[in-house]
Amino acid sequence: GVIDADKVELSNLHRQVLHTTQDLKKFKAANAKEKLKALNPHVKVVAYKERFGAANAAKLLKEYDLIIDGTDNFPTRYVINDACVLAKKPFVFGGILRFEGQVSVFGLPGGPCYRCFFEEPPKADEVPSCAEAGVLGILPGIIGLLQSNEAVKLLCGIGSPLKGRLLIFDALNTHFREVTLKKNPQCAVCGRNPTIKKVEAVELPVACVLQPQSAGIPEITARELKNLMKKQPTGFYIFDVREKPEWDEGHIKGAVLKPMSILQQTYHEIPKDKPVYLHCGGGGRSSRAVQFLQSRGYSNVYNLKGGFRAWTAQS
C-alpha cells in the first residue's frame, strides 16, 4: 500500500524520482501505483489518496505486516510509531536533514520504539526553518534504498535488522556510523507502564516552518572559543544543546550536555555568574536556545557559530 494525499509538484522531482514532469498535478499515491505496476504487473498495489493519521491508523495497519516511514513531518511520525507499537507491527524509520540521513527499525520485540529515542515531539520553535533545513536531492533515494533493504530482510526473515541501532549516513564525507539505541523502560508507549494506550493526533508544524532568521544573536567563532579556552579555561561555561546520541558521537571537552528538548524545564540550572556559550550541530538549535535564555533574563550568553561541525573543522 502507498499512502499520500498530496499531488506531484515540480519542487518534488529532485528528490522523489518516481515522478516526472509528465506527472505534475497527479496524486502521488496513484502515480506511484501506476509506476510500480509498470515495473511488475503481478504485484498488488493499493493507493490511498489520504493522509495517515490517528483516525485511520488502526484500520490501515490491519492490512499490512510492515510499515515504511517515508514522511517528512513529526506529527505523522509519532502517529506511525504509536500505532505500530499498539498494533505490534514494526516500522522502518527514515529521516533526512540537509546532508545527513538516518535509518532504524522500531517496534520489534525487545527493541526500542521512536519515543524511546525522542520522548516528546519538538516544540514549534525547535522545528528547523526551511532555509536552515534543506535537503540534498539524492539523499532521500539513498535513505529510501537502505529502508527497502531493512524491509526485505524483515519480510524474508534474513540478516540482522537495525533493531536498537541508528544508522547515520553523512553524504558530505560518504561516511556511515551507528548509534546504539536502548529501549526505555519508562517509555510512554512501549514501557513497563505505558500511558499512551490509543493513537492520538499530534499537533505540530508540518515539516519545516518558514521562520525569519533573527538578527543580533551574540556569537563566537570556533577559533575564538578555542583561544579563549587556552587563555581563560575556567572563566565561562559551555553547554551542548544537542541530544544524547549526538553527544555520544563526539563533544567538546569540558562542555555540559543540556538537550534542547528539555531546555525549558532545565534552563534554571545554567548559572548566570559567567559567560555562557551554547552550541549544537550546526548552530541552528543553539541560536534559538540563546534567544530562549535571553527571554529568561540571561544577558551574557553566546552562540557558537557553525556549531560542533565548525569546532571539529578547526581541530
Quickly list DSSP for 21-86. Answer: GGGTTSBHHHHHHHHHHHH-TTS---EE-S---TTTHHHHHTT-S-EE----SHHHHHHHHHHHHH
Confidence at residue 279, expressed as pLDDT on a 0 to 100 scale: 96
Q: Structural domains in the chain?
A: 51-180 (3.40.50.720), 219-313 (3.40.250.10)
CB within 8 A of 309, min separation 6: which ones? Answer: 281, 282
Confidence at residue 312, expressed as pLDDT on a 0 to 100 scale: 87
Confidence at residue 258, expressed as pLDDT on a 0 to 100 scale: 94
Q: What is the pLDDT of residues 5-28, one digit of tens each?
A: 889 988 888 888 899 999 999 999
Confidence at residue 15, expressed as pLDDT on a 0 to 100 scale: 82
**Distance, CA of 51 to CA of 37 (rounded, Å):** 22
Helix (H), strand (E) counts: the chain: 11, 12
CB within 8 A of 238, min separation 6: which ones? Answer: 225, 252, 254, 255, 256, 276, 277, 278, 279
Q: How confident is the model at residue 125 (pLDDT cuts 50, 70, 90)?
A: low
Percent of the chain exceeding pLDDT 90 equals 55
Determine which helix (DSSP H) or strand (DSSP E) holds 256, and give its type and residue range.
strand 256-257
- Record the pTM: 0.65
Cell 546532508 locates to 99
Confidence at residue 261, expressed as pLDDT on a 0 to 100 scale: 83
Q: Which residues pair with 92 in a beta bridge?
A: 68, 105
Q: What is the pLDDT of residues 75-118, one digit of tens each?
A: 889 999 999 999 999 999 998 877 888 999 999 999 999 988 77
Residues 18/32, Cβ–Cβ less than 8 Å: yes
Q: What is the pLDDT of residues 166-207, one digit of tens each?
A: 999 989 889 898 888 888 898 989 999 989 988 887 765 444
Exposed/middle/buried for residue 155 (C-beta within 10 Å: 0-12, 13-18, 19+): exposed
Residues 214/230, Cβ–Cβ less than 8 Å: no
Mean pLDDT of 300-305: 94
For residue 196 the three cell numbers come to 499512551
Q: What is the pLDDT of residues 64-75, one digit of tens each?
A: 999 999 987 778
Q: What is the pLDDT of residues 21-60, one digit of tens each?
A: 999 999 999 999 999 999 999 999 999 999 888 899 999 9
Strands ordered across the beta sheet of 165-170: 67-68, 91-97, 100-106, 165-170, 175-180
Confidence at residue 129, expressed as pLDDT on a 0 to 100 scale: 43
Mean pLDDT of the chain: 87
Confidence at residue 124, expressed as pLDDT on a 0 to 100 scale: 53
**Which is more confident, 210 or 12?**
12
List, as own/partner pairs, every contact residues 211-215 make where C-beta atoms lie below 8 angstroms and the sequence separation is at least 24, other chains included.
211/125, 211/129, 213/129, 213/131, 214/287, 214/291
Confidence at residue 203, expressed as pLDDT on a 0 to 100 scale: 62
Confidence at residue 181, expressed as pLDDT on a 0 to 100 scale: 85
Confidence at residue 127, expressed as pLDDT on a 0 to 100 scale: 57
pLDDT of residue 130 exceeding 50, the answer is no
Confidence at residue 74, expressed as pLDDT on a 0 to 100 scale: 79
Mean pLDDT of 305-314: 87
Cell 567563532 locates to 221
Confidence at residue 211, expressed as pLDDT on a 0 to 100 scale: 36
